[in-house]
Amino acid sequence: MKAGEGSARPTVRVSEIPVPAVSEGELLVQMKACGLCGTDLEKLRGEYTAALPVLGHEAVGVVAKVGGSVKGIKEGDRVFPHHHVSCGSCYFCERGSETMCDRYRTSNLDPGGFSEYFRVPVWNVSHGGVLKIPSGVGFEEASLVEPVACCMRALDRCGVMQDDSVLVVGAGPVGMAHALLVASMKANVIISDVSEDRLRFAEERRAGVVLNAGKLDIPRETRERTQGRGADLAIAASGSKGAIIQALKSVRKGGKVCIFGVPPKGSMLEYDISDPYNTEVSIISSYGASDSDTARAIKLLASHKVDLGSLITHRFPIDEFERAVDAATAGKALKVVITP
């Protein structure tokens, strides 16, 4: 079978590898769509901070083979398999920190979502990590389940309220997802970026007040639009140091800053920590999503109340995996999806 691989940008390639064997309690899934995430690009650059740098985790498809003892799932089912699954019963899981579970990052799709077939390990299958896709949701739209679930989890952790002013720093795929979700919660959205292409896309989607961070003082502009206070919540949807500092400088006294974008390995922030102390600013990070978060994301996508599918701008077959990486890296595409 074909699989998109690479451990660094010069070695991105499509290889012919064997179809994974399926053992007791496992599933073999034929990939139908897999989103190319910013973390995939970080892994290719060697910048990702977490373990298990497997490429392709926003994958959906059709069950091609079912290992013995699997119940409730059959061949032909349309599924979203979560790449990381928590145990559900440890200290962290019982306190709502499922993505901090010691087991959460210990399993993954094999060999990853950018392959014609992938194996879902027994841990994921047996711990509720495989969810069926409703008939009204297409495969490309379903490939958004994981990133949308991550955004929903972050917004839950931050406690967004109606009429809040929310600054989203970064108009990339997850920044735009945040903006659309926040707008659906009847909060007021401000979104900033330096990319003209992404700013134009945000304007076309009417995601909120769109500000060019390359030309404007975003903290000042944010305060001008919030009666001098600053944003109630600022989401750093980019992992760059500049995005995080911009968020910190734009939030009101007593407000919240969410670190959502993944900072590259070794990032060090030069910021006067006395400032958030004196202004009671809460800094909240959000990592990943649990199976309950993905279940909520599937339900939201099935409702079609938020046009998240419009975030997909480019599609490439596996044969053109290198072109897909180039398009995502260049910033001309918003959300890139790989298909068989």
Class of domain 2-132+307-339: alpha beta
Average pLDDT over residues 197-226: 96
H, E, C per residue of 153-198? HHHHHHCCCCCCEEEEECCCHHHHHHHHHHHHCCCEEEEEECCHHH
Residue 39 pLDDT level (bands cut at 50, 70, 90): confident
| pLDDT reported for residue 50 | 58
Look at residue 46 and tell me whether its pLDDT is greater than 90.
no
Q: Both tokens of residue 281?
A: 């600013």
| pLDDT reported for residue 128 | 94
- Helix 321-330 × helix 38-45 angle, to 10°: 100
Q: Both tokens of residue 201?
A: 């896309």
Average pLDDT over residues 139-167: 98
In angstroms, rounded to a whole number, what is the distance separating the alpha carbons of residues 173 and 227? 29
Contact status, residue 113 vs residue 59, Cβ threshold 8 Å: yes
pLDDT tens per residue, range 280-307:
999 999 999 999 999 999 999 999 999 9
* Fold classified for 157-285: Rossmann fold (3.40.50)
The residue to which tokens 């994974």 are assigned? 20
Average pLDDT over residues 110-122: 97
Label residue 331 left, alpha or beta by phi (over 0 means left) and psi (-120 to 50 means alpha). Answer: left
The residue to which tokens 């498809």 are assigned? 61
Residue 266 pLDDT level (bands cut at 50, 70, 90): confident
DSSP designation for 115: B
| pLDDT reported for residue 47 | 67
Stretch(es) of the chain classified as CATH 3.40.50.720: 157-285
Strands 231-236 and 209-212: unpaired
Stretch(es) of the chain classified as CATH 3.90.180.10: 2-132+307-339
pLDDT tens per residue, range 59-92:
999 999 999 999 999 999 999 999 999 999 999 9
Amino acid at 74: K
In angstroms, rounded to a whole number, what is the distance separating the alpha carbons of residues 10 and 202? 31
* Helices of type H across the chain: 38-45, 91-94, 122-126, 139-142, 145-158, 173-184, 196-204, 218-224, 241-250, 274-278, 291-303, 321-330
Q: Give the pTM.
A: 0.95
| pLDDT reported for residue 257 | 98
Residue 331 pLDDT level (bands cut at 50, 70, 90): confident
What is the overall mean pLDDT for the chain? 94
Half-sphere exposure of 46 (CA within 13 A, CB side): 5
Residue 49 pLDDT level (bands cut at 50, 70, 90): low
Residue 7 pLDDT level (bands cut at 50, 70, 90): low
- Kindly tell me the sign of the dihedral angle through the C-alpha atoms of 253, 161, 271, 100: positive
Contact status, residue 192 vs residue 212, Cβ threshold 8 Å: yes
